[in-house]
Structure 1
Amino acid sequence: MASMKDIAKLAGVSTSTVSHVISKRRYVSEEISERVNKAAKELNYFPSALARSLKMNRTNTIGMLVTNSTNPFFGEVVKGVERHCYEKGYNLILCNTEGDHNRMRESIDTLMQKRVDGLILMCPSLEGEKLESFERSPNIPVVVMDWGTMSFESDKIQDNSLHGGYLAAQHLIEHGHRNIGCITGPMSKYQAQKRFEGFKQALQQADIDLNSQWVDEGNFECDGGYNAMQRILKQDKLPSAVFVCNDMMAMGAINAAHELGITIPEQLSIIGYDDLHIARFMSPALTTIHQPKFRLGKAAVDAILQKLSNADAPHKTVQLEPKLVERKTVRTVVEP
């Protein structure tokens, strides 16, 4: 592998001049720069990222951990992170924990060993856990996304799930529904709790009683929505509408309804949450609550960069607001 000394010899300049040209930290005449760059190209020289990181104490790399990168929601958030990293001259190392606690801890240790400049965590399955790696490396900025209580200090980026759940129920109520069910996410998770809480607030304000037989807990995956909807539809009296607390479960719920010959929205209205890219292409297209996934990713990167530029800045929480996206899965109920 060619070195700066090899380039200097071929270009007829000093090693320090080669360093100045490659690093672009000092002015070097156009003629000399051209000679150096030509020599570097002929020798297939590539600057050592490791050497540069040791000298600058920065790697221009951000690590990100997600619970399940196969879920389209995570993929859309990661897209926002990766795009903004690229725009800011940073590389992204992505690790998928698949909800495994040990894998999560090992991934954090690996990223620390790779000297990442900051960490973005999107692993709510570890909410509230103590992570010793952060105690050993307190100067590495950490941003968490959609977590509840944390045992370590960090910036936090989150969707206002309380308001999102409220919007979903309000939309159903405004369309005349009073017999409303809900498929929640795992109630151990902060965002699932908040979406259900917002949902109940809207019903209470409209003086609508919540039938516990129409409430079932899912797992934020398609099979969870499918199984929960099957249980709800076994009741003697059925709801006219169901709020499903994410789009993945909504897809499973709609499938379960179709298997029982229940048409959407003629016999059962459905509203989801997240506004995945595929939601608009479902049949019928899914009415849902839009979560600003790309902006969540961008905000997480910005929080890391701000902390790198000012390590003493206080930790903050950035909350992005959801909004209703009306499509074809909610019908208007006309009172007789």
Structure 2
Amino acid sequence: MATIKDVAKHVGVSTSTVSHVLNKTRFVSEDISTRVLAAVDELNYAPSALARSLKVKNTRTFGMLVTTSTNPFFGEVVKGVERRCYEYGYNLILCNTEGDIARMHSNLDTLLQKRVDGLLLMCSEVDNEEFNLFARHQPVPTVVMDWGPIDFPSDKIQDNSHHGGYLATRHLIAQGHTQIGCLTGPLDKLPAQQRLSGFVQAMEEAGLTINKSWIASGNFECEGGEKAFEELYARGSLPTALFVCNDMMAMGVINTANKKGISVPNDISIVGYDDIKLAKYITPSLTTIHQPKHRLGQQAVDTLLDKIQSQRETNLIIQLEPTLVERDSVKKM
């Protein structure tokens, strides 16, 4: 494999001249630049990323830890991260934690050993763990995304889940519903807590009774929605409407209700949360709360780059606002 010394010898210039031509760090005459680039092609020379990183003390690589899930929400956020990294000329090393604490720490060690320039964390399983991030490594700039650890000192990009829950419930109330239930995510997770609190605020402001028999928790997956709806069904009478705290659970609810001969929205109306791409293609298409998932990923990369380039020590909290998307799963009373 050709080296930079081979290119320099072939052209009859110094290695520093070759470096300046390739990195555009200093003016080099057009004639020499042309000869250097021709030699690079002729010798099939590829600059060493490792050598460059040792010299400039960065790798132009970010690491990302993400919880494995069947929820397309995560994939849509990662797509935004990958696109932004590509636009800025950064590589991304993506690690799935598989929901496992030991695997998370192993992945983290690997990323830090590879000298990534920054970290993006989107792994909800660390919420209740002591997250001693840099026990064996020097700290690196870090951005925690929605579903990441709550108390870790870093920049944070998050969804205003309380307002999203409020918007969902207000919409059901505006459509004439007074008997409204809520199927939450796991209540040890901050997004689930906040979406439920938004539901409670909207109900209390409207002077409506919150029936605890119409509240149940799931795991933010389709089977969680199925299980939570089965709980409500076993308790007796159903509400006329449900705020289901994410789209995956909402799809589980619609499927389970259909099997029991319960029509959505004629018998029960449903509002979901996330606005994953599948939401508009199910039957009925799902009224839901839109999270700007692609922008969440982009903003996380932008914030991480700002932290690196400005070398600021203060930590930012950036909140993205959700919006209501009306489709066919809510009936006007």
Rounded to whole Å, the distance in 2 between the matches of 1:134 and 1:161 is 29
Give the superposition deviation at 1:13.
2.2
Structure 2 counterpart of 1:133: 133
Match of 2:100 in 1: 100
Normalised by the size of structure 1, how large is the TM-score? 0.96
Query: Is the Cα–Cα contact under 8 Å of residues 105 and 131 in structure 1 kept in the other structure?
Result: no
Comparing 305-314 and 162-171, the one that deviates more: 305-314
CA distance 1:69–1:179, shift in 2 (3 Å): closer
TM-superposition CA deviations, 1:148-197 (whole Å, max 9, x none):
76453100110000000000110000001111111100000011000001
1:74 aligns with 2:74: yes
Q: CA separation of 1:22/1:70 partners in 2, compared to 1, >3 Å: closer, same or farther? A: farther
- Counterpart of 2:249 in structure 1 is 249
CA contact (8 A) 2:70 2:221 kept: no
Partner of 1:155: 155
Equivalent pair of 2:123/2:148 in contact (CA under 8 Å): no
Aligned partner of residue 186 in structure 1, secondary structure: coil
Aligned to 2:318: 318
- Amino acid in structure 2 at the alignment position of 1:251: M
Q: Could you say which residue in structure 2 is the equivalent of 1:232?
A: 232
Find the aligned partners of 1:133 and 1:218 in 2 and give their Cα distance.
29
Distance in 2, Cα, partners of 1:230 & 1:51: 59
Return the alpha-carbon distance in structure 2 between the equivalents of residues 142 and 3 of structure 1: 35
Task: Give percent identity, aligned residues only.
Answer: 59
Counterpart CA distance in 2 for 1:149 and 1:114 is: 23
Q: Give the Cα–Cα distance (whole angstroms) in 1 for the partners of residues 25 and 311 of structure 2.
A: 25
Q: Contact 1:265–1:328 (CA<8 Å) still a contact in 2?
A: yes
The residue type equivalent to 1:52 in the other structure is R
Aligned match of 2:292: 292
Deviation at 1:312, TM superposition (A): 2.8
TM-score normalized by structure 2? 0.97
Q: Could you tell me how far apart the structure 2 residues matched to 1:130 and 1:231 are?
A: 33
Deviates more, 1:305-314 or 1:295-304: 305-314
User: What does 1:1-336 align with in structure 2 at a 5 Å threshold?
Assistant: 1-68=1-68, 70-147=70-147, 150-333=150-333
Aligned residues: 333
Q: Retained in 1: the 8 A contact 2:183–2:218?
A: yes
Is 1:130–1:152's contact at 8 Å kept on the other side of the alignment? no
Change (3 A) 1:123 1:49: same
Q: Deviations over 1:89-127 (max 9, x none)?
A: 111111111211111111111000011010000012211
Q: In terms of mean alpha carbon deviation, does 154-163 or 128-137 score higher?
A: 128-137
TM-superposed deviation, 1:229:
1.0
Equivalent residue letter for 1:311: Q
Give the drift of 1:318.
0.3
Q: Deviation per CA, 1:58-111, whole angstroms, max 9, x where unpaired?
A: 111111111115420000000111111111111111111121111111111100
SS in 1 for 2:53: helix
Take 1:151 and 1:332, find their aligned partners in 2: how far apart are those partners?
Answer: 41
| Structure 1 residues 152 and 264: CA distance shift in structure 2, 3 A | closer
Task: Provide the rounded CA distance (Å) in 2 between the counterparts of 1:316 and 1:18.
Answer: 41
**Structure 2 unmatched ranges of 5 or more:** none
Distance change >3 Å, CA 198–CA 151, structure 1 → 2: closer
Does structure 1 conserve the Cα–Cα contact (< 8 Å) formed by 2:257 and 2:263? yes
Moved more, 50-59 or 60-69: 60-69
- Residue 6 of structure 1 and its aligned partner are, at CA, apart by 1.1
CA drift at 1:146: 2.1
Give the SS at the match of 1:298: helix
CA contact (8 A) 2:121 2:148 kept: no
CA distance, structure 2, for counterparts of residue 247 and residue 273 of structure 1: 5
Measured at CA, do residues 24 and 31 of structure 1 come closer, stay the same or move farther in structure 2, by a change above 3 Å? same
Q: Bigger shift: 7-16 or 164-173?
A: 7-16
Structure 1 pair 231–69 and aligned structure 2 pair: CA distance change class (3 A): closer
The answer to whether the Cα contact below 8 Å between 1:109 and 1:133 also exists between their aligned partners in 2 is no
RMSD (Å) for aligned C-alpha atoms: 1.4
Q: Which residue identity does 1:173 align to in structure 2?
A: I
Distance 1:247 1:149 in 2: 22
**Does 115-124 or 67-76 show the bigger shift?**
67-76
SS at match of 1:9: helix
Equivalent AA in structure 2 for residue 163 of structure 1:
H
